[in-house]
Amino acid sequence: MAEHDFYEGMTISMASVEGLPPGAADRLESLGLLDAQQFVDAAADPVTAERLAAYLEVTPGQLREIALAAAARLPVTFEERREALEPLSLGAFPPTAEDEERNLLPRLEAPPMAAALPASVNHAAVLGRPRNQGARGTCVAFAVTAIHEFFLKTNGNATDLSEQFLYDETKKVDGFPQTCGTWQVKAAIVLKSLGQCKESTWRYNSALPCNGNGTQPGNAKADAGARKLNLRTLPKTNVNAIKAALAGGAVVGFSVPVFDSWYQNPTSRRAGRITLPVPNEASSGGHAMCLIGYEDQANVPGGGFFILRNSWFGQWGQQSPYGSGNGVIPYEYIKQHNWEALTF
């Protein structure tokens, strides 16, 4: 039996809203956008509304009428949102043809069948409360640190590790020292060669510039050397392989393109519910997070969803049923858009 529902907290389903054209509910379900409140928020953004109208094969005026009908059944009013929400920092790079480092990591292949996998897995309680990267594009360091801390804790050595150290050293090897952000496979090189020091040795400072880490403490590398870890890549869009890793007692770092239809959606932010992009939607950047579980659910795109740990604590996922700062993402999002998948 599922622990929670992808649409948990939804008061009204778009399938029950009057005036919805034939087939529109199915199209919204294929995006994971059945929550009427989340739909109303999406329709309030002029750019997203234009794409939604084209996707549902209605005019902008008809889409507005649908949004008004949905809002009439909610404790909200519908009006266009003219200003963007407060930005949340990103920092994951898309894979490139030149990025050969991923091929240097051992690769875990997918098991042949998914039938033996449990219907749900949840490691949220092991990691505890998520953290906040602040205004810096350091999400990769937070995602990979979550993997490392999970490994240590499940092996009886719970340790608070330094994202500051990991990001600082990763920028020294990723080939783009002046650009904010990086790849998880580059952070994996650091974990293998140098390890990672404790948070108490070099504390993360969210007030610094993205790549302005300051002076590394003299004892940081010696401390880091006690905690090295070899990470492995998974077939990045293979849902079964990722589920198998989670069911086997691991967590999985991942990086995906970000789309405003959920990134700039107030309901998505509160619920921690990521939906698929509206067709032809452009990416707003890339973000790394950590998959900490999954649940099979037939009416979610791809047949279920992954549970994720984000690095926007206090600003995103405050009402997530998996704990504040965590969230969910459909299997189909990973299948179509995932850039990286790393585990131990």
Of 3.30.70.360, 3.40.190.10, 3.90.70.10, 1.10.10.10, the CATH number of 100-343 is 3.90.70.10
pTM across the whole model: 0.94
Percent of the chain exceeding pLDDT 90 equals 88
Task: Indicate the pLDDT class of residue 76, thresholds 50, 70 and 90.
Answer: confident
d(CA 23, CA 90): 35
Query: Could you read off the pLDDT of 292-306 as tens digits, one per residue?
Result: 999 999 999 999 999
Output the six-digit token pair for 66: 């649908």
Query: Could you read off the pLDDT of 168-190 as tens digits, one per residue?
Result: 999 999 999 999 999 999 999 99
Query: Could you read off the pLDDT of 219-263 as tens digits, one per residue?
Result: 999 999 999 999 999 999 999 999 999 999 999 999 999 999 999
| Sign of CA pseudo-dihedral 113, 118, 119, 122 | negative
Residue 221: partners with Cβ closer than 8 Å, 6 or more residues away: 194, 197
Task: Indicate the pLDDT class of residue 11, thresholds 50, 70 and 90.
Answer: confident
Do 301 and 30 touch, CB atoms closer than 8 A?
yes
Q: What average pLDDT does this structure show over 145-166? A: 99
Task: Indicate the pLDDT class of residue 77, thresholds 50, 70 and 90.
Answer: confident
Residue 84 has pLDDT above 90, yes or no: no
- Which range among 56-60, 77-81, 280-284, 321-325 shows the weakest confidence by mean pLDDT? 77-81
Under DSSP, is residue 254 helix (H, G, I), strand (E, B) or coil? strand
d(CA 313, CA 298): 29
Query: In terms of DSSP bridges, do strands 326-330 and 304-309 run parallel, antiparallel, or are they unpaired?
Result: antiparallel
Burial class (CB in 10 A: 0-12, 13-18, 19+), 105: middle
pLDDT computed for residue 114 by the predictor: 57
All structural domains of the chain with their residue ranges? 14-71, 100-343
Q: What average pLDDT does this structure show over 77-106? A: 78
Burial class (CB in 10 A: 0-12, 13-18, 19+), 280: exposed
Task: Indicate the pLDDT class of residue 164, thresholds 50, 70 and 90.
Answer: very high
Task: Indicate the pLDDT class of residue 115, thresholds 50, 70 and 90.
Answer: low
Query: In terms of DSSP bridges, do strands 304-309 and 283-296 run parallel, antiparallel, or are they unpaired?
Result: antiparallel
d(CA 268, CA 307): 14
Which string of DSSP letters, residue by residue, matches 180-195?
Answer: S-B-HHHHHHHHHHT-
